[in-house]
């Protein structure tokens, strides 16, 4: 299942609806860990790997990881291939990724959010992915089609079996905000 949301309250309700008590969750864009704490309460017997590249996440996430030993925080840019590769190794050791959350900011560039979703979900193969992004929600409700191609899992089964691409350099071509 792939859930797309925008409102942070809806995002957190969807987390409550989908996360099971021993789920392995990868959270992209944890910020200061407010949803990480919710995820931990929902999955007390599971594992959580949370990532964010903002300086303010560091001290806040230290408090979270001090409170909960099953939470691991990585300060990193999730657009980078090496970061995905490192997390993919951890997930391979754990054995599975149940839930992938992509919240880079509700109004964040939808193209980047989609790319991050596509690459990470194709690699980690989660049962469920939840994406928080206004542009993608707008696209879903605004687009129409007469053909049906549909995935049941948390990745795009029609095109998600290609493995980790060697580099994500093309991000640099897509946005002037990315250095």
Ligand X SMILES: C[S@@+](CC[C@H](N)C(=O)[O-])C[C@H]1O[C@@H](n2cnc3c(N)ncnc32)[C@H](O)[C@@H]1O
Residue numbers at the binding site for ligand X (CB under 6 A) = 8, 29-31, 34-35, 51-54, 57, 77-79, 103-105
Cα separation, 106 vs 113, in Å, equals 10
Q: In what order do the strands lie in the sheet with 128-132?
A: 2-5, 128-132, 99-102, 24-28, 47-52, 71-75
Cβ of residue 133: shortest distance to ligand X, in angstroms? 10
Two structure tokens written together for 150:
């549909």
Quick one: 157 or 165, whose CB is closer to ligand X? 165
Quick one: 35 or 43, whose CB is closer to ligand X? 35
Quick one: 161 or 178, whose CB is closer to ligand X? 178
Cβ of residue 96: shortest distance to ligand X, in angstroms? 22
Contact 156, 121 (CB under 8 A): yes
Query: Inter-axis angle of helices 34-42 and 56-67, to 10 degrees?
Result: 20
Cβ of residue 172: shortest distance to ligand X, in angstroms? 13
Cβ of residue 28: shortest distance to ligand X, in angstroms? 6
Beta partners for residue 119, in sequence order: none
Quick one: 77 or 138, whose CB is closer to ligand X? 77
């Amino acid at each position: 299942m792939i859930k797309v949301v925008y409102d942070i309250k809806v995002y957190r309700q969807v987390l409550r609806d989908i996360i099971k008590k021993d789920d392995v969750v990868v959270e992209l864009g944890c910020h200061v860990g407010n949803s990480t704490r919710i995820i931990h309460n929902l999955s007390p017997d599971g594992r959580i790997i949370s990532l964010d590249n903002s300086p303010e996440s560091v001290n806040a996430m230290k408090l979270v990881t001090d409170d909960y030993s099953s939470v691991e925080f990585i300060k990193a840019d999730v657009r980078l291939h090496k970061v995905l590769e490192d997390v993919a190794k951890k997930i391979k050791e754990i054995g599975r990724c149940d839930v992938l959350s992509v919240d880079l900011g509700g109004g964040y560039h939808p193209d980047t959010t989609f790319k991050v979703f596509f690459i990470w979900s194709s690699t980690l193969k989660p049962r469920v992915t939840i994406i928080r992004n206004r542009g993608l929600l707008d696209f879903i409700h605004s687009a129409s089609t007469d053909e049906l191609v549909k995935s049941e899992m948390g990745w795009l089964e029609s095109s998600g079996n290609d493995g980790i691409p060697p580099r994500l350099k093309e991000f640099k071509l897509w946005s002037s905000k990315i250095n």
